[in-house]
Amino acid sequence: MGEAFEDLIFHGLRRLPRAGEELRTPNVARTMGGGTLITAVAAARMGARVEVISALSVEAARRLRAEGVHVRNLRRAGEPHAVSVALSTRRERAFVTFDGVNDALEARVLDDLARRRLPTAHLHIALGPRNLAGWIRTLARLRARGITTSWDFGWHDELPGRPGFETLLGAPDWIFVNEREARLYTGTTTMARALRRWRTAARGVVVKQGARGALALVNGAIVRVPAPGVRVVDTTGAGDAFNGGFLAALVRGRPLVACLRAGVRVGSLSTRAAGGLDALPFSRDVRGAGRRKAS
């Protein structure tokens, strides 16, 4: 569940532009994106049964159905879908986003979750919350029904100062962050301090570390796995692809180290093409990933 976008990706830049500067590139891609769509398609290609709850353009809904994903579209007729423009080098990215209907999405989703019993074992959320109290209540209801949850907030630097944020951190079963987000949401300046804070802040946390792989912290223990080497074209959506691989293994009851291995494999392979969808692997592409030795 969460936000969806039409993505315009200018990739292969040697560097990001300075203020007032125009750069030119022969590489541009138009695709559907956002954490919700990428995570959903990644999990579906790994064999999970997936439904997306979002506010979707016609093209996005069509693409999801073509991938075997069920769709619950909360966008109303005439409402503009969200658009995001990405500038991408091999190491850095910058974004400009028009939120469109996503401004109304959170309230509609909370209402939908209150009125409808979800036919699922796990709910993954991919958005920056505004109604923190509403989400705390909703996640408590889902937990009481036996539904596990995970959340990827993305980068929202105002979140740590919002009332109730510390309580919300402890509500999902899993929180996904990258290293910058791990420090932001714990108010720390180093990863060592962030991990100490996460030990008590969340039930389980996964830190995505790009080319260095990923780690998970749960019940006070840290599990790490490396990432395979791939030729990177564009890293847009790699973290969301990781989420899909991890969750597809999680809902099958796989051990934590196997979930991490699946996540880093799917996330790494997703970088072989521009955008977050086109290079997502299928389950046959990640066979053997579970035989990699964890560090």
Say what percent of the chain tops pLDDT 70: 97
Length of the chain: 295
**Token reading at 234:** 């564009």
**Residue 157 domain-assigned (yes or no):** yes
For residue 249, being part of any structural domain is answered with: yes
Within a domain: 184: yes
Domain count, the chain: 1
Per-residue confidence (pLDDT) for residue 290, from 0 to 100: 42
Residue 76 falls in which region: left (phi positive, over 0), alpha (psi -120 to 50) or beta:
beta
H or E segment to which residue 83 belongs = strand 83-88
Distance CA 273, CA 258 (A): 25
- The confidence score (pLDDT) of residue 292 equals 38
Q: Residue 119 falls within a domain, yes or no?
A: yes
> Quick check: is 258 in a domain?
yes
pLDDT, one tens digit per residue, over 149-171 is 999 999 999 999 999 999 999 99
For position 257, what pLDDT does the model report?
97
Using one digit for the tens of pLDDT, what is the confidence trace for 41-66? 999 999 999 999 999 999 999 999 99
The pLDDT of residue 294 is 35
Task: Flag whether 186 is in a domain.
Answer: yes
Give the separation between CA 76 and CA 65, rounded to whole angstroms: 18
pTM assigned to the model: 0.90
Contact 264, 242 (CB under 8 A): yes
**Distant-in-sequence contacts of 27-31, Cβ < 8 A, 24+ apart:** 27/274, 29/234, 29/274, 29/275, 29/278, 30/6, 31/6, 31/7, 31/274, 31/275, 31/276, 31/277, 31/278
CA atoms within 13 A on the CB side of 158: 4
64 in a structural domain: yes
The predicted pLDDT at position 234 comes to 82
Residue 94 lies inside a defined structural domain of this protein: no
Residue 175's CB is within 10 A of a number of other CB atoms, namely 26
Low-confidence ranges of the chain (pLDDT < 50): 289-295
User: Which residue range is the domain that position 71 belongs to?
Assistant: 33-81+105-291
Q: Find the CATH number of the domain harbouring 221.
A: 3.40.1190.20
